[in-house]
């Protein structure tokens, strides 16, 4: 009850690297539990800075029931200017709490966990919405850490990709991701400086940028039947959203903070363009067709961080990689 563990990022990444297949299944089960109401996932809380309007630190509290029966909070920062310094944009910590007593029992470096749950949800959606694990052409827009993790999860799930196209404003970052995809993952990859060319003919498109407002606004940018993983949430104009099938992770969570679906709701005054949630799609309660693009927009649920964090915690404890903090709690009795 009074044990407290700290799990660093290297340990978390090692656990994730050896269990990506299982993490996709963990994310799938968590989506279904959330859809069934076996979770508490309040709104995220944003700390913003007047002098740094593009920077923020977000608190994601949540509770996941069932066998997990765990509560907690992720505290994750996004400072886009870090990219210019050559360091990752995001950093995070995750605190896990025992549901019976409320006592925290672990603190985990969570940028790896956050990237893993994001990547796992993207690949899970791709598998569900395409009905398989193949792509003649896979296009990735944005060549950062999230994009790299998504490609690593595609590989772990044995996706067969004939060609990979990488588009990024930075030629250096695009080339680095293409090289990693080719050399480490075995996906024949090239860079494409032209966005329209990169999108054309792709079976699956991954949007993983730091865009603050839509730049994909051409009515013909996406093709009917094309699956678009809208991971960065703000790349797509509301007109394109309105003209597509839209699968979200959670409707109320996603329709806020000027995400592309939120902009569409504001412009069209309703939610008629929303097809349903990914959990509803998995359960067969909603369907999509090949007459319009299919867009998956995940706002990112705190319960996913809890589920993946708990998975990493158990693996680290079993391997002896968790650092136990003796006497972390100064008082363990009332008197």
DSSP state string for 296-326: EE----HHHHHHHHHHHHHHHHHHT-SEE-T
Cα dihedral 36, 130, 144, 18 sign: positive
Helix (H, G, I), strand (E, B) or coil at 31: helix
Q: What is the predicted pLDDT for the residue at 234?
A: 97
Q: What is the predicted pLDDT for the residue at 327?
A: 87
Q: What is the predicted pLDDT for the residue at 153?
A: 98
Helix (H, G, I), strand (E, B) or coil at 127: helix
Q: What is the predicted pLDDT for the residue at 80?
A: 87
pTM for this prediction: 0.94
Residue 88 pLDDT class (50, 70, 90 cuts): confident
Question: In this structure, what is the dihedral angle of CA atoms 244, 248, 252, 257, given to the nearest 10 degrees?
Answer: -80
Q: pLDDT tens digit string along 35-73?
A: 999 999 999 899 999 999 989 999 999 999 999 999 999
Half-sphere exposure of 291 (CA within 13 A, CB side): 3
Q: pLDDT tens digit string along 179-197?
A: 999 999 999 999 999 999 9
**Strand-pair partners of 78:** 56, 90
DSSP state string for 75-90: EEEE-GGGGGGTS-SE
- Return d(Cα 151, Cα 311) in angstroms, integer: 21
pLDDT for 2 beyond 90? no
Q: What is the mean pLDDT of the chain?
A: 96
- Return d(Cα 168, Cα 41) in angstroms, integer: 33
153 C-beta neighbours (distance < 10 Å), count: 26
pLDDT for 258 beyond 90? yes
Question: In this structure, what is the dihedral angle of CA atoms 92, 308, 204, 261, given to the nearest 10 degrees?
Answer: -60
Mean pLDDT, range 228-232, rounded to an integer: 98
pLDDT for 335 beyond 90? no
Residue 210 pLDDT class (50, 70, 90 cuts): confident
- Return d(Cα 34, Cα 62) in angstroms, integer: 11
- Return d(Cα 275, Cα 77) in angstroms, integer: 31
pLDDT for 173 beyond 70? yes
Q: What is the predicted pLDDT for the residue at 1?
A: 58
Distance linking the first and last C-alpha atoms of the chain: 18
- Return d(Cα 196, Cα 166) in angstroms, integer: 12
* Percentage, residues of the chain above pLDDT 70: 99
- Return d(Cα 233, Cα 207) in angstroms, integer: 8
**231: nearest Cα among 332, 122, 144:** 122
Residue 333 pLDDT class (50, 70, 90 cuts): confident
């Amino acid at each position: 009850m009074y044990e407290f563990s700290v799990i660093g990022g290297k340990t978390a990444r090692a656990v994730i690297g050896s269990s990506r297949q299982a993490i996709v299944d963990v994310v799938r089960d968590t989506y279904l539990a959330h859809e069934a109401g076996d979770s508490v996932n309040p709104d995220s809380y944003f700390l913003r800075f007047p002098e740094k309007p593009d920077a923020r630190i977000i608190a994601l509290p949540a509770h996941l029931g069932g066998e997990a029966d765990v509560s907690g909070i992720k505290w994750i920062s996004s400072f886009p200017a870090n990219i210019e310094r050559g360091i990752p944009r995001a950093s995070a910590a995750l605190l896990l709490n025992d549901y019976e007593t409320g006592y925290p029992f672990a603190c985990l470096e969570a940028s790896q966990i956050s990237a893993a749950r994001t990547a796992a949800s993207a690949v899970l959606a791709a598998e569900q919405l395409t009905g398989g694990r193949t792509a003649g052409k896979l296009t990735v827009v944005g060549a950062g850490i999230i994009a790299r993790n998504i490609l690593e999860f595609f590989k772990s799930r044995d996706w067969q990709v004939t060609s990979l196209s990488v588009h990024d404003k930075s030629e250096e970052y695009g080339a680095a991701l293409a090289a990693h995809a080719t050399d480490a993952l075995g996906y024949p990859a090239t860079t494409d400086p032209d966005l329209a060319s990169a999108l054309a003919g792709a079976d699956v498109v991954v949007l993983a940028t730091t865009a603050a407002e839509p730049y994909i606004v051409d009515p013909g940018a996406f093709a009917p039947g094309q699956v678009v993983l809208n991971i960065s949430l703000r790349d797509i104009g509301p007109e394109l959203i309105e003209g597509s099938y839209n699968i979200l992770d959670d409707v109320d969570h996603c329709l806020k903070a000027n995400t592309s679906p939120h902009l569409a709701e504001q412009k069209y005054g309703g939610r008629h363009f929303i097809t349903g949630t990914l959990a509803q799609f998995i359960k067969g309660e909603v369907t999509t067709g090949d007459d319009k693009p299919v867009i998956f927009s995940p706002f990112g649920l705190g319960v996913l961080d809890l589920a993946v964090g708990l998975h990493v915690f158990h693996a680290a404890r079993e391997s002896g990689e968790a650092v136990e903090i003796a006497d972390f709690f100064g008082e363990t009795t009332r008197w």
